[in-house]
Amino acid sequence: MQIFHRSTNTISRATIYGVVFLLGALLWAALELQRSPYVTYAKVARPQPAPFSHQHHVAGLGIDCRYCHTSVETSSFAGIPPTKTCMNCHSQIWTQAPMLEPVRESFRTGQSLVWNRVNDLPDFVYFNHSIHINKGVGCNTCHGPVDRMPLMYNYASLQMEWCLDCHRQPEKYLRPRDQVFNMRYEQPAIGKPVWMGGAEYTDQIALGRVLAEKYKLRTVADITSCSTCHR
C-alpha cells in the first residue's frame, strides 16, 4: 500500500533545492549589505562643525595637502590642522562669515574643534600614512577625488578586501613620489606617457614594478601577512 502520493518525491527535492537556493540568496544579500554604503558610509558626507570644502581649498585655491596635514609624510597619522592654521587666512578673509563662527570661537577660546572622522578604520587595524606616501601611493588612490568634494566623504569601503586588492598587486597603483600629492595624476597610457629616470612608460604595470623595486617595497607575501595590518 502506497502511503504517500508519487509526487511527494518531486516536492521533497524541490523543497530541499529551494532551501539551498534561499540560503544562498540570503548569504549573497548579507554580503552585499556588508559592502554597501549603509554599512561602510562610502560616498556619504559626514556632518562637521564647519562646512570645510576641499573642492574650494584644494582645486579652487591650490592649497597643497601638506599645508593642513603636516605629518602625513613622517607619521602614521596624517594630522588634523589646529585652528590657528585656518585663521592664517580667515583672520583676513571671510572674517564675519556665519558658517565660520565655530572656527573663530575655537580660536578665541582655545577649545579645539571636534571634527568627525571620515576615513575611520577599526581599532584592530594598523595603518601608517607615511609608509604609503613614501612608497608611491597617491592620496587620491585611497581618498578619491578630494579636490572635487564640497563636503568630505570616504571614497572607498575601507574593508579588508579593498585593501588587499592593492596589497596583492601594488604595481597597479604606484606612482612617482613627486606625483603622490597630485590630485589629477593620470597613470601612464599610450598618448600620455610618464617619464621617470630618463625612461618613458606607457604601461602602469611596468612603471609600478620599477617603482616597487626603486622604493624597496616588501614582498607581496609580507604585505598580505595578517600581522602587517593586525598587530
User: pLDDT of 11-62, one tens digit each?
Assistant: 777 888 888 888 998 888 888 887 888 888 888 898 999 999 999 999 999 9
Confidence of residue 4 (pLDDT cuts 50, 70, 90): low
Beta-carbon count within 10 A of 119 CB: 16
Judge contact between 140 and 133, C-beta under 8 A.
Answer: no
Beta-carbon count within 10 A of 30 CB: 10
* pLDDT score of 164 more than 90: yes
For residue 200, the cross-strand partners are: 195
SS (H, E, C) 85-136: HHHHHHCCCCCCCHHHHHHHHHHHHCCCCCCCCCCCCCCCCCCCHHHHHHCC
> CA 26 to CA 7: how far, in whole Å?
28
Judge contact between 83 and 113, C-beta under 8 A.
Answer: yes
> CA 149 to CA 193: how far, in whole Å?
28
Confidence of residue 216 (pLDDT cuts 50, 70, 90): very high
Judge contact between 127 and 121, C-beta under 8 A.
Answer: yes
pLDDT of residue 48: 93
Average pLDDT of the residues of the chain: 92
Q: What ranges do the domains of the chain cover?
A: 8-38, 41-80+115-229
> CA 59 to CA 209: how far, in whole Å?
31
